[in-house]
């Protein structure tokens, strides 16, 4: 089954803010974050059901070398990304820890 990736505007803004933060430290670090986020999206698309449901219908995928997670849901043929969040942030009431 082929899925389509849909990234909500909230997640796009969060990822852009994270990228900008790392860019202040160094362009190479920002580029590594961007590459790893893309790799995470690719892994999710390959098999979104492999990630367990954490809260309601939301699943979480961790980035390998950065302390961020991608919060997404499998809705029909779409993988909908709702959030890119740091693992140390206060847990979200909506999306879970």
Domain of residue 39 covers 4-86
For residue 50, the 8-state DSSP code is: G
pLDDT in tens, 84-95: 988 887 666 665
Q: How far is CA 77 from CA 2, 22, 41, 48, in A?
A: 7, 33, 15, 10
Q: What residues are paired with 78 via a beta bridge?
A: 4, 75
Q: The domain spanning residue 62 has which CATH number?
A: 3.30.2310.20
pLDDT in tens, 40-76: 999 999 999 899 887 788 999 999 999 999 999 998 8
Beta strand 78-86 with 4-7 is parallel
Question: What is the mean pLDDT of the segment spanning 13-23?
Answer: 96
Distance between CA atoms of 81 and 44, rounded to whole angstroms? Answer: 10
| 97 falls within a domain | no
Tally of residues, the chain: 97
pLDDT, residue 54, reads 79
């Amino acid at each position: 089954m082929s899925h389509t990736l849909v990234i909500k505007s909230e997640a796009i803004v969060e990822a852009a803010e994270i990228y900008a933060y790392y860019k202040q430290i160094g362009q190479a670090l920002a580029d590594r974050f961007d590459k790893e986020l893309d790799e995470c999206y690719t892994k999710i698309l390959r098999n979104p059901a492999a990630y367990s449901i954490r809260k309601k219908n939301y699943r979480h995928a961790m980035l390998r070398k950065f302390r961020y997670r991608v919060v997404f849901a499998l809705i029909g043929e779409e993988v909908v990304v709702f959030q890119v969040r740091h693992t140390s942030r206060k847990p979200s009431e909506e999306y879970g820890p």
